Amino acid sequence: GAVVSQHPSRVICKSGTSVKIECRSLDFQATTMFWYRQFPKQSLMLMATSNEGSKATYEQGVEKDKFLINHASLTLSTLTVTSAHPEDSSFYICSALIRIRGYTDTQYFGPGTRLTVL
């Protein structure tokens, strides 16, 4: 499989500050990455699709000015939570869409970032 890293793994910040989360595909290029949010004991909620070189596509109900996504290269996408508030506290997970040896495009997930906003 492919390896996707995410940094930081945990972050605690004060209300009103911005937090940037990085998602990297370490061994394969990924023109498409996805950002999810996961609440305890719940499924993965897709926030947005990040495409290299173009604007991200946000899911309904997700504020694009609140959650800024930048896919600057074929191996890096970043999610910035702007003016974070306690309700933004969550587990954020990215994934990279990768095709290995001509097989089906498959999503490989990063380890997640636990964000706590005080």
Partner 1 sequence: GENVEQHPSTLSVQEGDSAVIKCTYSDSASNYFPWYKQELGKRPQLIIDIRSNVGEKKDQRIAVTLNKTAKHFSLHITETQPEDSAVYFCAASKDNQGGKLIFGQGTELSVKP
**How distant, in Å, are the alpha carbons of 43, 44, 56 from that of 60?**
17, 15, 13
- Residue 11 as a binder of partner 1 (CB under 8 A): the answer is no
Q: In the bound complex, what is the minimum distance in angstroms from residue 97's beta carbon to partner 1?
A: 4
User: With binding defined as CB under 8 A, does residue 1 bind partner 1?
Assistant: yes
27 lies in the site for partner 1, by CB under 8 A: no
DSSP state for residue 86 in the 8-state scheme:
G
Q: Which of 7, 62, 70, 109 binds partner 1 (CB under 8 A)?
A: 109
Residue 19 interacts with partner 1 (CB under 8 A)? no
Contact call for residue 92 and partner 1 (CB under 8 A): no
Q: Work out the angle at residue 51's Cα, subtended by the Cα atoms of residues 101 and 115, and round it to the nearest 5 degrees.
A: 105
Q: Is 32 in the site for partner 1 (CB under 8 A)?
A: yes
34 lies in the binding site for partner 1 (CB under 8 A): yes
* C-alpha span between 44 and 39 (Å, rounded): 8
Instruction: Return d(Cα 47, Cα 54) in angstroms, integer.
Output: 16
Residue 88 exposure: Cα atoms within 13 Å on the Cβ side: 25
- Amino acid identity of residue 24, one-letter, is R
Query: 21, 47, 84, 97: which one contacts partner 1 (CB under 8 A)?
Result: 97
Residues that bind partner 1 (CB under 8 A): 1, 4, 32, 34, 41-44, 46, 49, 93, 97, 104-112, 114
